[in-house]
Amino acid sequence: MTPPISTTDTKLVRRLALGVMSIGFGQSAFVVLIPLIMARLGLATIDLGLAVAAGTLAFLVGAPLWGSVGGSIGHGRLMRLLGLAMLGAQALLVAQLLMGQSAYAFVLAGLVASRLIYGFAAAGVMPTAQAWLAGTIEAERRQAAFGLLGAGLNLGRLAGSLAGALAAITAQLTVALFALAPLLLWLAPKGATKLEPGAVAVPRLSPLDHRILPFLLIGVSLTAGFGQVQIMLGPLLQWKLGLNASGATAATGAALALVAVAMITVQVLAIPRLRWSERSGILAGTGLIVAGMAGLVMAQGYGAGAAALVTTGFGTALATPAYTAWLARRVDTQEQGAAAGWLSSAHIVGQTVGALVGGFAFHLAPMLPLVGCAGLAVVAAAIAVALRGRMETHR
């Protein structure tokens, strides 16, 4: 069994996990609120697409940049500053919702500005938290620590979906929770590691650096694979089970909530008790993803399909902390934030590619996104196997 995390480190991990909940909550709650935003502001789907694309671009640019800042000003201070920026962005959106429809250009500019600010600030949360943990917790315990951090993110997504369900009763409460979620970042401890005044500056870390590139490719592969399935799950359920649009929507929501619960369970209860290397975690996780996709292809009913999705969730929950911890082994302390930032950007690239490819693949053949997900999991496993023993550790 992996050595237990110390009491002090456990408190740090839990507080950071609560902080990153704000990111997951903001993601799922925004998706739920899209119909309300469109109705209140008088915008079309193309306008929402533009705003989301702007936020995604800001996230891609911000993640590697913020990753290097925490060591300079202190991780705790940076987390609070990011929380304030995210709070400001949410306040701008809420103010627009309260004002209602106005001049088209004014409304669209405000929404785009809100998503730009939010995306740029939110991009720094996970890299800062991961760098903080990597610089504090011993390498043998990082899989467990990163697993708990991931559980916080997934718990936030689940909570955001549940809060969205409240919109049917009181939309005002959902909007308020959505706006105030960034305050969770103020739960992070005030103290944090900073570079010593006389520390030598570290050269800018490139995503093509041989120490981190394999793990960025693993991250892109796994997120692109599951992204295909996630975006096409509703249409797939309609096709396989003969559901109407309302039934498919409800079934998709329930299935994704079940997957989130499964991932949280693995990350909180299983990973801290496992004794294996990062490579083993990746191989076990990708194996479960392939098994889950095979099960989903063969499933003829909702129960079997849900079980297959849960298996896929188990695999993703095992693999993600494993390659994140392995990446952290490969870089120096001063490079942890930048490496985590590039990994966050890789995840966004994978999710975006998965969403684009998934729709096209489903159009060609409904089962193709499932095959693609399994194939990309095999690619990730092959990269992990190809990494030689000399690359196991760096620090």
Split at pLDDT 50, 70, 90, the class of 137 is confident
Cα–Cα distances (Å) from 356 to 77, 237, 309, in that order, read: 37, 19, 21
The set of long-range contacts for 244-253, using a CB threshold of 8 Å and a minimum separation of 24, is 251/302, 253/161
Tell me the per-residue pLDDT of 33-52, one tens digit each, with 9 for 90 and over.
Answer: 877 888 889 988 788 888 88
Give the integer Cα–Cα distance in Å for 357 and 132. 35
Split at pLDDT 50, 70, 90, the class of 7 is low
Question: Of 348 and 382, which is predicted with more confidence?
Answer: 382
Give the integer Cα–Cα distance in Å for 376 and 297. 16
Residue 290 near residue 180, CB atoms below 8 Å: no
Indicate the average pLDDT of the chain: 86
Considering only CA atoms, which of 288, 331, 389, 355 is closest in space to residue 134? Answer: 331
Give the integer Cα–Cα distance in Å for 296 and 308. 5
How far does CA 345 lie from the centroid of its chain?
Answer: 10
Positive or negative torsion for Cα 352, 354, 359, 361: positive
The residues spanned by each domain of the chain are: 7-187, 213-391
User: 213-391 in CATH: which number?
Assistant: 1.20.1250.20
Tell me the per-residue pLDDT of 86-120, one tens digit each, with 9 for 90 and over.
Answer: 999 999 999 998 888 888 889 999 999 999 999 99
Type of residue found at 181: A
Considering only CA atoms, which of 166, 167, 158 is closest in space to residue 35? Answer: 167
Question: Do the domains 213-391 and 7-187 match in fold?
Answer: yes
Furthest-apart CA pair in the chain: how many Å?
Answer: 66
Give the integer Cα–Cα distance in Å for 260 and 302. 17
The count of other CB atoms within 10 Å of the CB of residue 258 is 16
When pLDDT is averaged across residues 22-42 and rounded to a whole number, the result is 84
Give the integer Cα–Cα distance in Å for 238 and 248. 6
Q: What DSSP state is assigned to residue 5?
A: P
Which segments of 101-186 does DSSP mark as H helices, in order?
104-122, 125-134, 142-165, 171-180
pTM across the whole model: 0.82
Q: Characterise 372 by phi-psi region: left (phi > 0), alpha (psi -120 to 50), beta (else).
A: alpha
Give the integer Cα–Cα distance in Å for 208 and 338. 13
Tell me the per-residue pLDDT of 216-263, one tens digit each, with 9 for 90 and over.
Answer: 999 999 999 998 888 788 888 888 888 887 677 677 778 888 888 999
User: 7-187 in CATH: which number?
Assistant: 1.20.1250.20
